[in-house]
Amino acid sequence: MPSHSNTTNGFPWFAIRTRPRWEKLVHQALEGKGYEAFLPLYKSRRRWCDRIKELEVPLFSGYLFCRLDLEARRLPYSPRRAFEGL
């Protein structure tokens, strides 16, 4: 989990709510745009009728964390349009 100290880039961590089961896709999109994002995952065994599979599942379903500069308030685009799944 991200610590409360802002040592990396000086910006605080924020929780971002995503559409259900879109956490990994939004995480990749944020990192692709240059943001520092954090998606805590855990391994879970899921059983289907014919097999058991180990999956990496988000610790907080529908949420991920990202460092953002809210003071600037100058985004060149709307976050909802730029990232599918928000």
Please measure the distance between the N-terminal and C-terminal CA atoms of the chain and give it in whole angstroms: 21
| Distance in angstroms (rounded) separating the CA atoms of residues 16 and 83 | 12
Q: What is the pTM of this model?
A: 0.72
Q: What are the domain boundaries of the chain?
A: 13-72
Predicted confidence pLDDT, tens digits, the chain (86 residues): 454 454 456 889 999 999 989 999 999 999 998 889 999 999 999 998 999 999 999 999 999 999 988 776 554 455 556 666 66
H or E segment at 44?
strand 41-47
